[in-house]
Amino acid sequence: YWPSVFHTMPGESSVQHRPSHQVGVTVVLFVLEMEWVLSTGQDKSFTWHCSESGQQLGIYRTTAWVSGLQFDVETRHAFVGDHSGQVTILKLEQDNCSLVTTFKGHTGNVTALCWDPVQRVLFSGSSDHSIIMWDIGGRKGTAIELQGHNDKVQGLCYAPHTRQLISCGSDGGIVIWNMDVTRQETPEWLDSDSCQKCEQPFFWNFKQMWDSKKIGLRQHHCRKCGQAVCGKCSSKRSTIPLMGFEFEVRVCDSCHGSITDEERAPTATFHDSKHSIIHMQYEPTRGWLLTSGTDKIIKLWDMTPVVS
């Protein structure tokens, strides 16, 4: 986390120390094909340097300090995730960059990014316990939510040969997601002043409360249809794995009755690492997963029985 990047240089002195950020460096990526070193820092900046000359090629200022970084060599797109929960896509050139677009789907800060250049899909993990799959190369704008952790997501990696996503979290969980299924986007939550099932007023709807002489109810939302409902009309819970809900969530009574046993079949497997994970690295050729935790222990896992 020292605010600098080290460059290997030819000559008598093989190491050059060049300040790149005003405060701590958060992520560093070396792009061999471009001979670039990409780095981000807590000073809300993203920079890229030439690894041969050590020269800074460009800098981009972000709205919050960056906590996730991925790069696509073919298109020269950088994916930058920050503490505001936003993912920014930048098009890098030799000495400048241009803003392509931004994604905002997390309520917490982005803690992990993973890019699959084959399917052209970006995965982002967050402190809000969720993972979002952004379909960048196919149906642009599609965002699939995955809910399988009880604490912040700390690491993501993708196994393209089996189309499985591996996620690790501070809760100690290692989750293997089957991405070779047709997943559905979660619906947007609808706004209403009264329950969209029984039409009872919500507690801020003073006019309807006065007219009907009834006390207003608290508003909830069905995770399957997105309708605004009261507690009485959404008393049931269910998993909806194809929508990413591997844990039971609130659904309205009518949606609960429409969910089949086949739709409740899990699309992920859960494994307990028995330590709070802060970093992970997956080696796909051997099927090994390395995790390190807050307990100062490094663990090596053979994932071939589950990632296959």
Please report whether residue 3 resides in a domain: no
Please report whether residue 198 resides in a domain: no
CATH number at residue 149: 2.130.10.10
The β-bridge partners of 123 are: 114, 133
Chain segment 86-132, per-residue pLDDT in tens: 999 999 988 888 999 998 989 999 999 999 998 899 999 999 999 99
80 lies in the same domain as 228:
no
For the chain, which ranges sit under pLDDT 50? 1-2, 9, 12-14
Please report whether residue 201 resides in a domain: no
CATH number at residue 225: 3.30.40.10
Please report whether residue 219 resides in a domain: yes
| Residue 284, Cβ density class (10 Å: 0-12 exposed, 13-18 middle, ≥19 buried) | middle
pTM of the model: 0.84
Please report whether residue 11 resides in a domain: no
What pLDDT does 1 receive? 41
77 lies in the same domain as 120:
yes
DSSP assignment string, 144-161 = EEEE--SS-EEEEEEETT
- Domain of 67 in residue numbering reads as 25-183+265-302
What pLDDT does 136 receive? 86
Count how many Cα atoms sit within 13 Å of the Cα of residue 205 in the half-sphere of its side chain: 20
Rounded-to-10 torsion of CA 252, 253, 259, 261? 120
How far apart CA 261 and CA 22 sit, in angstroms, is 55
What pLDDT does 13 receive? 47
Please report whether residue 44 resides in a domain: yes
Helix extents (H) in 213-293: 253-258
Chain segment 60-87, per-residue pLDDT in tens: 998 898 889 999 999 999 999 999 999 9
Between strands 164-169 and 173-178, the pairing is antiparallel
49 lies in the same domain as 139:
yes
Q: Which residue has the tokens 């609960």?
A: 256
Please report whether residue 1 resides in a domain: no
